[in-house]
Amino acid sequence: MGRVRSLFRNLFRKHDVERALDDELRAHVQMLVDEKVAAGIDEARAWREAHMELGGMDQAKECVRNARTGARLELVLQDVRYAFRTTMRAPVLATVVILTIALGIGANTAVFSVFNSVLLRPLPYQNEQQIVAVFERRINENGARSPLSAPDFLDWRKLAGSLDGVALYDTRQLSITNDGGAELVPGAYVTAGFFEVLRVRPKFGRTFVVADEDPGRQQVALVSYGTWQRRFGGDAAILGKLIYVNGAPVQVVGVLPDGFRYPFAADCDLFLPIRFSTDQRTFRGIHAFNGIARVRDGRTVEQAGAEMDVISRQIEHQHPDTNSGHIATLMPLREQLAGRLRPALLVLLGAVSLVILIACANVANLLLARATVRTREIAVRAALGCSRQRLIGQSLIESAVLATTGAVLGIALAWWGVAALRATFFSRLEFFGTAGLDTIAMDWRVLIFTLGWALASTLLFGISPALAGARIDLTEGLRSGGRGMTSADHHHFRSALVVIQVALSLILLTGAGLLGKSFLRLTSVNPGFQPEQVITATINVPGSKYRSTEQAAMFYDALIERVAALPGVRLVGVTDILPLTGNDNRTGVLIEGSVPRPGERRRMHPRLVSPGYLEAMGVRLLEGRMFAAADGSGKRHVAIISDAAARQYWPEGSPVGRRFATTVENAPWMEVIGVVGAVRNRALDQDATLDVYLPLRENPFRHAVTRVTLAIKTGNDDGALASSIRAAVGSIDRSVAVSEIRSMESHIADSTAPKWFNLVLLTLFAGIAIVLAAAGLYGTLAYIISQRTSEIGVRIALGAQRSEVLRIVMRRGLMLAIAGIGVGSAASLAVTQLMSKLLFGVHPRDPLIFSVIPLLLISVALIASYIPARRATRLDPMAALRGD
Amino acid sequence: MATDLLKGTLDLLILRTLTLERNHGLGIARRIEQVTKGTFDVKPGSLFPALHRLEEQGWVAAEWGESETRRRAKYYTLTKTGRKRVESETANWNRIALAMARAIEATS
């Protein structure tokens, strides 16, 4: 009979085992009796003596039970059952503790996991810490960042020894034409060496070489693994196949490996080599590209950066007119990708930490409260002979039951939280430019850390009653209410906990309030146009077919005519740059009759528009007139400027009739014919750009405008418009791709989505914090009342009014709350300074918020105090006086 | 009169008692009493836990049978592993006893 078999038998066949023991002992007694009777003792006495010798049937059985294998395990199981029973007796407290733990674990893990995935996890490239983003800093413009120009890049490619490769990239949508029509897919133009910088080898074929950048040769392309599978069916003969991109034939020369992620977009199906136009190649002033590079193994980013500094100054020296003050700057790629998210995530981190602290304080509070209430029970059990070890063990198990349930729930919550965050928010990663990070997963280390920490604190505070209880004077504990159990120390500790909770909640609420006000300010900003009932659609014409500005403009004119005839369309126009979509163009300008101040760089932001665009978008006309159909063709070159530009460059008098020219070579003088309201192009919380609107045919750039956005003011919210638009486009030219038909309002919402996300999360946390703090306050007050029941009973019996009792209790609660608010306000004043980067139009010490929030908390505290206070007034004085 | 017996000592006593023949609980107690001339008076509170522990460990086997007085009784027998255990424990005990004797002699 092995130990293991005995264990099983003892646990699961208890009934049989017990019966056998009973039989054996009875048999033993019987034989004893026989012995005695045989020795002459009478039967009755024999029985008595036999039982006495046995030492009592039950005691004997107990001794055997204790010696059995699995006896200790059984004790534990017994304690667990007991723990469940006691937990069930106080369901509210148990639920609150469990939920608090679950919330702490879940929220903490979810947020930290996301934080870790996005900010801390290395990029999926070999030696990724050596990959840097390359951009230019303009010393003369306060270190403003700028994209790169081709000639500079070509020089760097030659000269930079500490870089093991530098490449440019330009993320764009490309249109692939097949029998069904043209379709826009996410793609990118990259220079040779791009994939080598990332240390990515193609699955088949080759990557780009410098020769591919030569415009005279057959255009080539690389496809992603997914595209190869989906679009080409995993065709083994993909290499050498011709596909039509942007209307021109392109030969596939390679397939990228599965699992490769383009760092700058959520997806990238197609890569083409960058072919610099003659302008781009010769004019150092045209900055159109972004760059990455790999720092040579063995060199640090700082060393490489220093070398780039030197090279930049060399180039500056050689080309002072275009490059003065331009310094090439390197930044680790990971930082560039995640950098925009950093402030938001830091706020999150702070919020989560505060919530955790509050949660812990709550758990501690509640468990201590429970401890003091059960002093008597523990005293009784100790008096009945329960060993100290067993008492502590039981307490431990009770806490463990709570902690484990909370932990299981917490893990589930964490799982769900990560999934929810990933789905609702991080699926639109483009907002943050942190593409390629969709593998956000729950971080096990964080989970284990949080779990361990939560369990530890629960167990610690859970066994304190047993630890203390085992030491107390038993008679003291058995007497009325067990008041004497160092409750004074506990009392202060718990009061301090409540004050801390209130303070922390205040900080969170203040933060949420500030963000809320900031968001309201943001959304009430006048964008400069009227987005209501405006539908937009992106139109992409193949550059190979529409080579000249005139060809493209003719297409757009025809399209506008067709679309204007559709039912429900009131106004329509096109533009090359839609506000709030992250696009921009910039050009230097010369103002007739005015000389720039020393160091002043005159710039405007050109927007090519058709007549009707400004009207469709509801941009207000302030002076002069809007474009007519005749503008742009013919000898007169006209333009409309925004009033921001007007005030900047023509501060006196009306700019209408005055002239200016772009700094592009051979640019004509343009006459201002109208002034319109400024439009916030970049973001609602950034200043309006100095816009100049030009007719489509006045395109100052050499290349035709192949991509425009159609803006349509509709008379009603008509969903069927989308298909009509596609039909209209297709009826003119089937090789033109239409994509992203959506409302202007959705563009605006997208631009404010990050702030919205922050606000929602912070408010959520603040809400949780308030609930927890209120629960803590309520619990503390309830406990105080229960401790002072007899005192309250006496007061009532002696004639105190119920209202007076109410006042006494509530005053206590209010004092705690006010103390918390005081501490919290002081802390908030310091903490909110850290948030100032996230605020718009709101001062970090906004007086309105700082006065409203404390009032809010006081009202919550009043309610939380009122409930237990009211119960105190309902006390039956006789029952109270009788003593628990 | 019961004296505090070390668990192991009681186990050894019981096992040695059973080397000769099988016996029931009462019988084992009486035999130990007899053989040690009354020094060890094993109470049921110690005996039965020890017996059950020995059974769980597989050194004795139990079965119900009929006693001398024609009563039902649970009889314990040494198993094969039990016999080996007796030998090793006896050797152990002798070693300890010898060591103790020497120690006492050296320090008296």
Cα angle value A730/A734/A736 (rounded, 5°): 90
Q: Is B2 on the interface with A (CB under 8 A)?
A: no
Query: What is the tens place of the pLDDT at every residue in A220-236?
Result: 999 999 888 888 888 88
**pLDDT at residue A832 above 90?**
no
A735-750 mean pLDDT: 84
Q: Is A590 on the interface with B (CB under 8 A)?
A: no
Query: What is the tens place of the pLDDT at every residue in A642-697?
Result: 999 999 899 888 889 899 988 877 788 999 999 999 998 888 888 888 999 999 88
Task: Determine, for residues A68 and B72 on separate chains, whether the beta-carbon distance falls below 8 Å.
Answer: no
Q: Return the pLDDT at A432.
A: 42
More confident residue, A611 or A472: A611
Task: Determine, for residues A1 and B55 on separate chains, whether the beta-carbon distance falls below 8 Å.
Answer: yes
Chain A neighbors of B67, CB-CB under 8 A: 31
pTM of the model: 0.66
Q: What pairs with residue A674 in β-bridges?
A: A624, A640
Task: Determine, for residues A24 and B43 on separate chains, whether the beta-carbon distance falls below 8 Å.
Answer: no
Element (H, E) at A248: strand A248-255
Q: Return the pLDDT at A469.
A: 55
CB < 8 Å from B in window 67-106 of A:
67-69
B49 in the Ramachandran plot: left (φ > 0), alpha (ψ -120 to 50) or beta?
Answer: alpha
Whole-angstrom distance, CA of residue A585 vs CA of residue A580? 13
Is the distance from CB of A273 to CB of A213 less than 8 angstroms? yes
Per the prediction, chain A carries an average pLDDT of: 82
B28: nearest CA partner in chain A: A28
Q: Where are the alpha helices (DSSP H) in A524-603?
A: 549-564
Q: Is A32 on the interface with B (CB under 8 A)?
A: yes
Query: What is the tens place of the pLDDT at every residue in A404-420?
Result: 888 899 889 988 888 88
Chain A neighbors of B53, CB-CB under 8 A: 67-69
B7-15 mean pLDDT: 85
Q: Is A717 on the interface with B (CB under 8 A)?
A: no
Q: Which amino acid is at A134?
A: V
Q: Return the pLDDT at A667.
A: 82
Coil, helix or strand for A328? strand
How does residue A430 score in pLDDT terms, banded at 50, 70 and 90? very low
Chain A neighbors of B57, CB-CB under 8 A: 1, 3
A407: tokens are: 């932990």
Q: Which residue from B44, B46, B50 is facing A28, i.e. has the nearest CB?
A: B44
More confident residue, A211 or A2: A211
Determine the residue among B48, B63, B79 to mutate to test chain A binding: the one whose Cβ has the most chain A Cβ atoms within 10 Å.
B48
Q: Which residue from B46, B50, B73 is facing A31, i.e. has the nearest CB?
A: B73
Q: Is A28 on the interface with B (CB under 8 A)?
A: yes
Q: Is B8 on the interface with A (CB under 8 A)?
A: no
Of A713, A711, A631, A712, nearest in space to A674 by CA: A631
Find where tokens 């003593």 sit: A883
Whole-angstrom distance, CA of residue A773 vs CA of residue A769? 6
Is the distance from CB of A564 to CB of A632 less than 8 angstroms? no
**pLDDT at residue A334 above 90?**
no
Is the distance from CB of A61 to CB of A21 less than 8 angstroms? yes
Query: What is the tens place of the pLDDT at every residue in A100-151?
Result: 888 888 887 887 777 777 666 677 788 888 889 888 887 776 666 778 888 8
C-alpha distances (whole Å) from A292 to each of A133, A436, A477, A753, B108 are 4, 16, 73, 28, 90
Is the distance from CB of B74 to CB of B62 less than 8 angstroms? yes
Task: Determine, for residues A25 and B44 on separate chains, whether the beta-carbon distance falls below 8 Å.
Answer: yes
Query: What is the tens place of the pLDDT at every residue in A274-290?
Result: 888 777 777 777 777 88
Determine the residue among B5, B43, B56, B69 to mutate to test chain A binding: the one whose Cβ has the most chain A Cβ atoms within 10 Å.
B56
Q: Return the pLDDT at A254.
A: 92
B63 in the Ramachandran plot: left (φ > 0), alpha (ψ -120 to 50) or beta?
Answer: beta
Determine the residue among A13, A17, A28, A34 to mutate to test chain B binding: the one whose Cβ has the most chain B Cβ atoms within 10 Å.
A28
Task: Determine, for residues A66 and B49 on separate chains, whether the beta-carbon distance falls below 8 Å.
Answer: yes
B72: nearest CA partner in chain A: A27
Minimal C-alpha gap between A486 and chain B (Å): 41
Query: What is the tens place of the pLDDT at every residue in A55-108?
Result: 778 888 888 888 887 777 887 888 888 888 887 877 777 887 888 888 888 887
A291-304 mean pLDDT: 88
C-alpha distances (whole Å) from A397 to each of A10, A56, A79, A377, A466 are 22, 32, 7, 16, 11
Whole-angstrom distance, CA of residue A397 vs CA of residue A79? 7
Q: Is A22 on the interface with B (CB under 8 A)?
A: no
Distance of alpha carbon A697 from its chain centroid, rounded?
44
Q: Which amino acid is at B83?
A: R
Q: Return the pLDDT at A222.
A: 93
Q: What pairs with residue A708 in β-bridges?
A: A539
Task: Determine, for residues A60 and B48 on separate chains, whether the beta-carbon distance falls below 8 Å.
Answer: yes
Q: Return the pLDDT at A626.
A: 92
Q: Return the pLDDT at A476.
A: 52
Task: Determine, for residues A28 and B26 on separate chains, whether the beta-carbon distance falls below 8 Å.
Answer: yes
Cα pseudo-dihedral A624, A625, A626, A627, rounded to 10:
-110
Chain A neighbors of B56, CB-CB under 8 A: 1, 3, 6, 68-69
Q: Is B89 on the interface with A (CB under 8 A)?
A: no
Query: What is the tens place of the pLDDT at every residue in B25-67?
Result: 888 999 999 988 888 888 888 889 899 889 888 899 999 988 8
A34: nearest CA partner in chain B: B69
Task: Determine, for residues B44 and A31 on separate chains, whether the beta-carbon distance falls below 8 Å.
Answer: no
A538: tokens are: 């992106």
Task: Determine, for residues B48 and A55 on separate chains, whether the beta-carbon distance falls below 8 Å.
Answer: no
Of A735, A638, A737, nearest in space to A696 by CA: A638
**pLDDT at residue A473 above 60?**
no
The string over A303-317, giving b where at least 16 C-beta atoms fall within 10 Å of a residue's C-beta and e elsewhere, is ebbebbeebbeebbe
Of A787, A805, A806, A779, nearest in space to A502 by CA: A779
How does residue A475 score in pLDDT terms, banded at 50, 70 and 90? low
A525: tokens are: 């900003």
More confident residue, A625 or A91: A625
How does residue A560 score in pLDDT terms, banded at 50, 70 and 90? very high
Minimal C-alpha gap between A48 and chain B (Å): 15
**pLDDT at residue A480 above 70?**
no
Whole-angstrom distance, CA of residue A50 vs CA of residue A55? 9
Q: Which residue from A1, A34, A59 is facing B71, i.e. has the nearest CB?
A: A34
Q: Is B70 on the interface with A (CB under 8 A)?
A: no
The string over B48-66, giving b where at least 16 C-beta atoms fall within 10 Å of a residue's C-beta and e elsewhere, is bbbbbbbbbbbbbbbeeee
Whole-angstrom distance, CA of residue A20 vs CA of residue A65? 12
ipTM of the complex, rounded to two decimals:
0.86
Cα angle value A723/A725/A729 (rounded, 5°): 120
Q: Is B50 on the interface with A (CB under 8 A)?
A: yes
Q: What is the CA radius of gyration of chain B?
A: 15
Chain A neighbors of B75, CB-CB under 8 A: none
A581-601 mean pLDDT: 81
How does residue B101 score in pLDDT terms, banded at 50, 70 and 90? very high
